Chain A
Amino acid sequence: MEENRIRSRWSGLRRFFAAFVNQANLLGRTFREGDTRTRLSFVLMGFGNLVRGQVAKGLYYFLSEAVFVVYMVLFGARSLVGIVTLGTKTQYIEAIPGQVPKVIRGDNSMLMLLYGVATVLLVVWFIATYFWNISSAMQAQRAVEKGEVLPGLRTEAREYLDAKFHVTLMILPVMGLLLFTVLPLLFMILIAFTNYDSSHQPPGSLFHWTGLYTFKALFSNSGVLGGTFWPVLGWTITWAVIATASNYVLGMLLAILINRKGVRFKGLWRTVFVMSIAIPQFVSLLLMRNMLDDFGPINGVLQHWGLTSKFIPFLTNATFARLSVLVVNLWVGIPYSMLITSGILLSIPKELYEAAAIDGASPFRMWTKIILPYVVFVTGPYLITQFIGNINNFNVIYLLTGGGPSGLTYYQAGKTDLLVTWLYKLTVNTRDYSYASAIGICVFIISAILSLVAYRNTKSYKKEETFQ
């Protein structure tokens, strides 16, 4: 099993490289077998299509080349250099006696990196287009040699509603992804390997490539950054484990309770709980924050009834705050798992219950021996998704405590801060972008490992094709 999987991953890599070799071969073969018009397409993209009557296609390739060349000459080449240097001229203030001091603009490392990454993406797109152009020229030549009629614009266009419909479907979403997810993410990942922190802010000053320096600082046992990272990571994991487990078990109990045979008004009960999912979290959680305030209504009522003489620091004492977020998270999370497990509980084969009842099993034993194993088995992937979701559970922490109470020995973090809320604070409050990115990469690695375990082992991933 294990061996197979490793082998299949290697073969995946091999296929990846084989694809490159294939493309290179295609170039060679086309050059050998192509006629002059096809060969000219190597330099003048779209030439082969254009002279053989496929005007629209030819023009598209030709214009792509033209746009690309103009862009590279005017701008692109410079940004490719910029991504290496990240700027050399620092901005400074020229003070000539007797005149108003003047700011002499230097390089802006941030923009240079951003444009550099964008240019790299553009180059990748151009290389792909270039290969399409070559193979399209060869195809046109072959078709003409065989005496076939070349597909015109209308036929080709119709293809995009049929055999190539996936291109039509995916072009817009993929462009959206490239612009708003891939480009920003590549940019931010690269930032983790620079010193773009609060003391290196463009345009005032430059930042540079620093390799793994940020990660070393983050993982070090000494130093304020490492002294924050490890405790925050520890709390993140603790939080995720407790939050996931408690929500899951209690949600399931609630589902069992509502789905109990004799209980009526099931829809009404469910609706009450579903309401807490429906109310926007910034409303419900901000409200909870104020309810749990030192001078808020809960403390007010407790003191009014004489249950406590002083306020309880629900959100201002580290231990209390950690407990409070876990408890409030139950309010938010139980209805979700109730909804999910409800569906599953109804799908448990009735025979299982009946057999157990005949054998004289108590309700508790029934729950631990039948329901729990069955539901855990079916919801395994969901459980792991929930765990990852809790590691990234920004809203509950940020809206309730804002990460506080602040840890005095921490850098920009509090006692209830998760990695993601710390990341957010570093981004927004202090602009320590390189630290923030490094933390983001850590969160990614944690999620990636967990997801690999979850997805690779599920049947639906392995046997996707047979399932359909």
Chain B
Amino acid sequence: MSQLTVARRRAISTTESPWIQAVLIAIALVFIALFLVLPLAAVFAEALRKGLGAYWLALLEPDAWAAIRLTLLTAVVAVPLNLVFGVAAAWAIAKYEFRGKSFLTTLIDLPFSVSPIVAGLIYVLVFGAQGWFGPWLAEKNIKIIFAVPGIILATIFVTFPFIARELIPLMQSQGSEEEQAAIVLGASGWQTFWRVTLPNIKWGLIYGVILCNARAMGEFGAVSVVSGHIRGQTNTMPLHVEILYNEYQSVAAFAVASLLALLALVTLAIKTWVEWRHAAEMRELSQLPPERPMNTVPIAQ
């Protein structure tokens, strides 16, 4: 058999005929166009239906600004807290062996499978007027539910696992040889973390942070339960969209929604960029000349 026929048979055996390929690609693209592209396009089309003037006017409204500020504040508090937790949890789970580790990992994932409404409700049961700390908080005149702290707490809950679950598998796959080497060479724990671990996990970290941020800014259900919907005070952007929409202020609702859609597009762009950068770094690493085998001195005494 000539080389050409071998190559052709190989191709035939592991792929489909061109027209089947074309049909499958067409079905996939139509599905994506209908379910993903069209809703995205509808947001901008509805927002700009009465022209750019009406669009700007809707965005410059004081209540819209208050909602934007509250959304930014929520993300600025919730994301760093979950970032610190994510790094701590990944360090504990990836670098050590201990009993109940897989159970702990499951518990960390739990907020992903709890309905956002249930997430909001549990904080009402703890901090609400009828809740555990309700009377005590009322006495001290501290408002958590139907106020900003409740919104931040509910947001922290729904975005809780994002960074941890990005970092745990990453740090597990990297092992801890490099950190052990740094410690043996005399670095302190913090030096090891900043100089060795952090550069190794930076792409996973950015990835987790932007996904966490997108969810934190966009969360609706959980925040809706604890917010109280006071205009200009406890309305985040998604809640503001709901109020405007229910008042039939369609253009204004879609104008604020278009900002959130832009946030989603920026998130996707950064996410894709991170994936490309990471893949490029992996390629560069694989093209380096192979290292000489290290002296296998046992690290433990």
Q: Do A and B bind each other?
A: no
